[in-house]
Amino acid sequence: MRSMRFLLVALFTVLLAVPVLAGVYSGQVVGVIDGDTIDVLHNGKAERIRLNGIDCPEKSQSYGQKAKQAASALVFSKEVTLHTFEEDKYGRTIGNVLLADGTNVNQELVKEGWCWWYRKYAPGNTVLEGLENEAREARKGLWVDPQPVPPWQWRKR
């Protein structure tokens, strides 16, 4: 009985230490790592957030710095609401980022042409698919390039 109580107390303590992975919370953006990764203040610490369903060019790739600048202009120092899902293999929390006016930052970056809809991790997302197609047709952002290299291909090189 005593060991069972110890086990329950230990389990409860571990569960309290695990960050909330699925849920909704707000925080100030304190850093923009690149176009699809930001740091948001949560429970007194910066939490790394990977924007769900999109993939921006890497910083050293063509349009990577512009994608980072676009993300910074949208979110840096602003209060955002996060709808989080899970952690990726790098320990980043995956989520959708919303501004106070309701703007979905993930969608806005696709709409402005600074990233791809990440089909591998957001299959069937018809909103992102449509926004990417519109940005391509309008030749916005990175789509001014007739053959931009998707970051998942660039990373393999």
Residue 8 lies in a domain: no
* CATH number of residue 99's parent domain: 2.40.50.90
Q: Which residues contact 22 (CB under 8 A, 6 or more apart)?
A: 84, 85, 86
Q: pLDDT at position 53, please?
A: 96
Mean pLDDT of 91-114: 97
Choose the catalytic residue: 2, 47, 50, 139. Answer: 50
Q: Is there a domain that residue 125 lies in? A: yes
Residue 156 forms part of a structural domain: no
Q: Is the pLDDT of residue 31 over 70?
A: yes
Distance CA 93, CA 91 (A): 7
pLDDT of residue 10: 40
Q: Total domain count for the chain? A: 1
Whether 37 maps to a domain, the answer reads yes
pTM of the model: 0.84
Q: Is residue 7 part of a domain?
A: no
The question of whether 2 is a catalytic residue gets the answer: no
Distance between CA atoms of residues 102 and 3, nearest Å: 50
| pLDDT value for 72 | 98
Residue 87 annotated as catalytic: no
Which is nearest to 103 in space by CA: 132, 79, 129, 137? Answer: 79
pLDDT confidence band for 1 (50 / 70 / 90): low
Please give the radius of gyration of the chain, using alpha carbons only, rounded to the nearest integer: 18
Confirm whether 58 is a catalytic residue: yes
Q: Which of 58, 108, 112, 132 is catalytic?
A: 58
Range of the domain at 65: 19-145
Q: What is the pLDDT of residue 38?
A: 98
Whether 4 maps to a domain, the answer reads: no
